[in-house]
Amino acid sequence: MRLMILILLCFTFTVPAAAAEVRVGVLAYRGAERAEQDWLGTLAHLNTSLPQHRFVAVPLDLPGLTQAVEARQVDFVITNPGHYVELESLFHTTRIATVESIPGPSPGMAIGSAVLVRADVPGLRGLADLRGKRLAAVAPDAFGGFRVVWRELLALNLDPFTQMDTRFLGFPMEGIVAAVQDGRVDAGILRVCLYEQLVGEGQLNPDHFRILSARHVPESPCLTSTRLYPDWPFARLDSTDPALAKQVGMALLSMPMTDGQGWTVPVDYQTVHELFRDLKIGPYEHLTRRSFTETLRDNWPWLMLAALGILWWVVHVARVEYLVRSRTDELRRAHESARRQRDEMEHAARLALMGEMASSLAHEINQPLAAIANYARGCQRRLADGSDPDGVAEGVGLIATQADRAADIVKRMRSFVRKRLPEPQSIAINDVIRDSLGLFQVLAGRAGVDITLSLADGLPMVTADRVQLEQVLLNLMKNAADALAHRDHRQITVTSKSAVGGLEVVVADNGPGLPPDALAHLFDPFFTTKKDGLGLGLSLSRSIIEAHGGHLWGENRPEGGARFHFLLPHAEGPKP
């Protein structure tokens, strides 16, 4: 029969030179020479049936055949079913016939894989035993040479890329057999029936090898480790002349069996599509990119849990924010209430202080009023006598002076005791000390207290509320005067000076000093050493100074007596 094919080929070479060349791309899974030999009868039959064309085989590997189809360098292809499905998806190739072998498997269940192992290797009985082993295949895109086994491993929850050492050795497949025989790998993937062919050709000793998970399928005379799929198709490109494709299809279907090989009508390749869908490759690679609906459907318990977590977090954040705002409002109201209470206490303290000074201030006011009365009676006598108009005019002027003096005393008293909001302004500390002394001088005089001022010149300004500072100074001087009640010599010294961090004012006395147990509680509210004291003066004074960014403290003098200091920060501005 092979002699007749050679005669036919020789006849085809005598066709007229004008015969059009038709290129048939052939997948050479066992090398180019073997591919030409396998399809020799088919090409001879086509050349005989269609003498106006000259059909030539173009053996290529998988990448080369794909590139040839893409570049339209071939007119027809003969390839494995997996590669055909990919070409159909990418380049719209169309099968016109399926190869048929007699005797052999049916065209619809002819392609599979046999996993070859050495007979003397223990522990390898099934595909599940390949976990962690060395596995040889021709290429990751080979159908019977890898992908068919890949699907079976996937059904066993085995990933050949991560759970075993998979090595791709390339074509021809005889290299897989050599790698298994030499012990370079534990197992190798062969196209179904290749094992039997190699044994028949004497290239393989069946006593040295065995097929993993071997099973007999009624439709196939060969051992297989996997499910079976349709045989190789003969397909045309979308650029191929439809008339020529029709002629080729008719010629293939009329071809007699040559060396047990013929062609039949195209079979259904749905099982190949199912394999690609399971592996999510080729036309179904998009399945690895899951849609939102699929992700939602497959992961809805976790998504629901995450949504509940997010909802809880939102509610928690809203609750925390509400509580923070509520507590902030409460704190603001509490601070405002405390500020109002402090203002009320300061006002009450000023009233109390002024009440203690009332008799002295009344005496102070009484003096200008008495002088006014005397001057007024003198003016009346001069007017009655009708003489000394100049004396009357002078008396009126003295009355006005004494009236201004009384008015000034009242004005300072009203300013000191009226309820008001703090009015910080840039002021000279020495002026505040002198004004405070003006209010306190009468009380000091009646108590027999000498007051000495030691005020430094050229001090910077401070930013403060004048009345509040007067209240602090009056309270400190009043406490010093009370401490001197039982002393023969009574002396208060008020000093102003520049200090680190601001201006320092010191009120010192020569009294008995502060009891040791009282030093730690001087500024506690309602703590007092006086029988009739409220214990608010020093506490309020400290609050006032700290509200101005300063500090107030007290101590005993080494030479006897007590002294109180307060420090105020400088204000920006020129010196007074």
Of 181, 230, 223, give the one whose Cα is nearest residue 205.
181
Domain membership flag for residue 301: no
Mean pLDDT over residues 475-482, rounded? 87
CATH of the domain at 566: 3.30.565.10
Q: Is 225 exposed, middle or buried (0-12, 13-18, 19+ CB in 10 A)?
A: buried
Summarised one tens digit per residue, pLDDT across range 331-348 is 888 888 877 776 666 666
Q: Report how far residue 81's alpha carbon sits from residue 145's, in angstroms, rounded to the nearest whole number.
A: 12
Instruction: Name the least confident of 35-44, 183-192, 293-302.
Output: 293-302
Q: Report how far residue 495's alpha carbon sits from residue 497's, in angstroms, rounded to the nearest whole number.
A: 7
Domain identity same for 411 and 476: no
Domain identity same for 374 and 507: no
Q: What are residue 504's DSSP bridge partners? A: 497, 567
The residue from 365, 384, 419 where one domain ends is 419
Q: Report how far residue 28's alpha carbon sits from residue 77's, in angstroms, rounded to the nearest whole number.
A: 11
431 to 158, 426, 427: CA distances (angstroms):
94, 12, 8
Domain identity same for 502 and 559: yes
Mean pLDDT over residues 31-51, rounded? 92
Domain membership flag for residue 362: yes
Domain identity same for 45 and 143: no
Structure tokens at 544: 């006032």
The residue from 370, 399, 419 where one domain ends is 419
Q: Which amino acid makes up residue 485?
A: A
Summarised one tens digit per residue, pLDDT across range 79-132 is 999 999 999 999 999 999 999 987 777 888 888 999 999 999 888 989 999 999
The residue from 203, 228, 253 where one domain ends is 228
CATH of the domain at 217: 3.40.190.10
Q: What letter would DSSP give residue 144?
A: I
Domain identity same for 382 and 480: no
Arithmetic mean of pLDDT over the chain: 84
Domain identity same for 129 and 202: yes
Domain membership flag for residue 88: yes
Domain that includes residue 402, residue range: 357-419
Domain membership flag for residue 297: no
Instruction: Work out the end-to-end distance of the chain between its first and last CA atoms, rounded to an integer number of angstroms.
Output: 130
Domain identity same for 215 and 259: no
Domain identity same for 156 and 71: no
Counting the structural domains of the chain, the total is 4
Domain identity same for 249 and 364: no
Q: Which amino acid makes up residue 25?
A: G
Structure tokens at 40: 């020799």
Domain identity same for 523 and 412: no
Domain membership flag for residue 28: yes
Domain membership flag for residue 295: no
For the cut 60, the answer to whether the pLDDT of residue 432 exceeds it is yes
Q: Is 4 exposed, middle or buried (0-12, 13-18, 19+ CB in 10 A)?
A: exposed
Domain identity same for 121 and 243: no
For the cut 60, the answer to whether the pLDDT of residue 419 exceeds it is no
For the cut 80, the answer to whether the pLDDT of residue 354 exceeds it is no
Domain identity same for 126 and 217: yes
Domain membership flag for residue 521: yes
Domain membership flag for residue 315: no
